[in-house]
Amino acid sequence: MSRIGKLPISIPSGVTVSVKDNIVTVKGPKGELSQAVNPSIDVEVKDGQVSLSRKSDEPAQRSMHGLYRSLINNMVVGVSTGYKKELELVGVGYRVSNQGQVLEFALGYTHNIFLQLPKEIKIETKSERNQNPLVILESCDKQLIGQVCAKIRSFRMPEPYKGKGVKFVGEVIRRKAGKSAGAK
């Protein structure tokens, strides 16, 4: 058995999990998510827990067992507590602002970058004096919020020489020494 796949998922209060035609639907106070599950994996909701089992021991089914357990667990956590990611813009003149679901970035290019975010994500931007601008994203969908963060980071990846770019709050960028004086 898969070590992750065989662990049961406890359902917190206020969250309902239903399975119909190999589609798992999770509803909670933060929203509703659904995930299609491969027919070779059985999903069973009983006694306030979700348990997954596989029909055979083939490598393909063994790998999907743990995967679907993690996906369903992420959905349960997302609709009950949600996910929050904070991005920090490090660099002189780097700015961010939002108008509804549209983020506007000034990242040192000749033009500003506009990014339309899905309605499932809540956005907050903070720009305080003598502080790096922050982008705070909240959502119940872990996959979606991770994808949006990766897209935002791709506009200006953190570079190792000066440490400039878009990074997660608390992320440590491994720094490199620049050019050293030439030895004669």
The domain that contains 23 carries what CATH number?
3.90.930.12
Q: Are 91 and 99 in contact (CB under 8 A)?
A: no
In the predicted model, what is the mean pLDDT of residues 107-117? 95
Structure-token pair, residue 142 = 């872990």
pLDDT one-digit tens code per residue, 52-95: 998 888 888 888 999 999 999 999 999 999 999 999 999 999 99
pLDDT at 184: 56
Q: Do both 101 and 144 map to the same domain?
A: yes
Q: Note whether 50 and 93 are same-domain residues.
A: no
Residue 47 lies in a domain: yes
Mean pLDDT value of segment 92-117: 94
Q: What count of other Cβ atoms lies within 10 Å of the Cβ of residue 38?
A: 13
Kindly state whether residues 94 and 109 are assigned to the same domain.
yes
Identify which has the larger pLDDT, 4 or 105: 105
18-60 pLDDT, tens digit per residue, is 999 999 999 999 999 999 999 999 999 999 999 999 888 888 8
Q: Is residue 161 part of a domain?
A: yes
How many structural domains compose the chain?
Answer: 2
Give the structural domain span for 137. Answer: 83-168
Instruction: Evaluate the CA torsion angle 84, 148, 168, 136 in order and state its sign.
Output: negative
| pLDDT at position 60 | 87
Q: Are 84 and 74 in contact (CB under 8 A)?
A: no
**What are the pLDDT digits (tens) for 120-172?**
999 999 999 999 999 999 999 999 999 999 999 999 999 999 989 999 999 99
Q: Which residue has the tokens 């596989």?
A: 54
Question: Do 113 and 137 share a domain, yes or no?
Answer: yes
At 41, list the tokens.
């994996």
